[in-house]
Structure formats: structure tokens, C-alpha cells
């Protein structure tokens, strides 16, 4: 069974440009999460989808970030316009929402560099 996949693995853009990150969760996983790690800091929660609905977007830094999950399958995270402080590694995770504890499976991350 394929794990969580993310595309691209690395993106380098200029300040002010737009970037879209994609996450394909494990098939059948209703819960999808986005996290981010900026240099020297801990991994931080951004938002949580249950199927196509945003359950919790309390970690989204500002309105330059827009997340969508079309049809409850893959998700995209768009940054527009990108700023220098958006550089970091963006992780996606998914879980099956089948019990009181659900292991979150992480993708390899997208490394975003804003110049």
C-alpha cells in the first residue's frame, strides 16, 4: 500500500511568487493534516481536514495560505504571495479516524525555499 506522497519534494521561488504544494493521503484516510517546520523550530500544526471539510485551521499563519481538499481525496496548500519567512519543510499526514487513537502517517515533506 502506498504511503502519503507529497509533491514537489523541493521548491525554490522568489518572494512574491505563488507556490502550490500537493499531498496525496493514504487511500481511505478521512483525516488529513498539514504541518510545517521552519529552520531551527519544532514541527507545528497548520490545519486538519475531515474528508473535504476544514475541521481546524487554527495553525494557519495568515490569509496568504489557502488549503483545499477536493472531494476528500488529495489536498493542496497554496501560498500567495510567498514571503521569506514561509521557507521551511511542509509535511502532510493522514489517518483513518477509526478509533480513539489513530496513527498519523507522514509524507516525506516539501522543502520550500523563498528567496
Partner 1 sequence: QKEVEQDPGPLSVPEGAIVSLNCTYSNSAFQYFMWYRQYSRKGPELLMYTYSSGNKEDGRFTAQVDKSSKYISLFIRDSQPSDSATYLCAMGGKLVFGQGTRLTINP
Residue numbers of the site for partner 1 (CB under 8 A)?
4, 33, 35, 41-45, 48, 56, 59, 91, 93, 101, 103-109
**Of 14 and 42, which has the nearer Cβ to partner 1?**
42
Provide CB contacts within 8 A for 93, sequence distance 6+.
4, 32, 33, 35, 104, 105, 106, 107
Which residue, 53 or 80, is less far from partner 1 as judged by CB? 53
Q: CB 45 → partner 1: shortest distance, Å?
A: 5
- Is 20 or 106 the residue whose CB approaches partner 1 more closely? 106
State in Å, rounded, how far the first CA of the chain is from the last one.
Answer: 37
> What is the nearest approach in angstroms of partner 1 to the Cβ of residue 91?
6
The label of the residue with cell 525554490 reads 12
Amino acid at each position: 500500500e502506498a504511503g502519503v506522497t507529497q509533491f514537489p519534494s523541493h521548491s525554490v521561488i522568489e518572494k512574491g511568487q505563488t507556490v502550490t504544494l500537493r499531498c496525496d493521503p493514504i487511500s481511505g484516510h478521512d483525516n488529513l493534516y498539514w504541518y510545517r517546520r521552519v529552520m531551527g523550530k519544532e514541527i507545528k500544526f497548520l490545519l486538519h481536514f475531515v474528508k473535504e471539510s476544514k475541521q481546524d485551521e487554527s495553525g494557519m499563519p495568515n490569509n496568504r495560505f489557502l488549503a483545499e481538499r477536493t472531494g476528500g481525496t488529495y489536498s493542496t496548500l497554496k501560498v500567495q504571495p510567498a514571503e521569506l519567512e514561509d521557507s521551511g519543510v511542509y509535511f502532510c499526514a493522514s489517518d483513518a479516524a477509526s478509533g480513539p487513537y489513530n496513527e498519523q502517517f507522514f509524507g516525506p515533506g516539501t522543502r520550500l525555499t523563498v528567496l
